[in-house]
Amino acid sequence: MDVLERIDQQVKGNPVVIYMKGTPQFPQCGFSMRAAQALSDCGVPFAFVNVLQDPDIFEHLPRYADWPTFPQIYVDGELIGGCDITLELHQSGELKSMMEAAAAKQPEAG
């Protein structure tokens, strides 16, 4: 599978996904740490991809949505942005609403 197809499946297959350096538990950069913490604070489960463990995604993700930096946060299949935008959305309360709406669209497991 082409790496861009793999990214597309991850973005469209998860209500919320963050492409970050490291993991939410062990972030490898301050921007990734702050963005993952904002997502965690919303109380809605989210997926993550550690771009440091996947060189193909690290190299090609900036082409996927024409966004050059990490982290990249996708909600409901759409890029919402990086760290600064995510923190602004979190502070305004919009991030939680967006995440809840995206999660509500997913079919119930089971």
Range of the domain at 11: 3-105
pLDDT tens per residue, range 5-19: 999 999 999 999 999
Helix H or strand E encompassing 94:
helix 94-105
Total tally of structural domains belonging to the chain: 1
| Per-residue model confidence (pLDDT) at position 108 | 58
CATH number of the domain at 24, please.
3.40.30.10
Task: Evaluate whether residue 16 is within a structural domain.
Answer: yes
Asked whether the beta carbons of 73 and 31 are under 8 A apart, the reply is: no
pLDDT digits (tens, 9 = 90+) for 63-100: 999 999 999 999 999 999 999 999 999 999 999 999 99
Region 45-63: what's the mean pLDDT? 96
Note the maximum CA span of the chain.
39
39 within a domain of the structure (yes/no): yes
> By 3-state DSSP, what share of the chain in percent is helix, strand and coil, each rounded to 5?
55, 15, 30
Q: Is residue 110 part of a domain?
A: no
pLDDT in tens, 28-51: 999 999 999 999 999 999 999 999
pTM beyond 0.85: yes
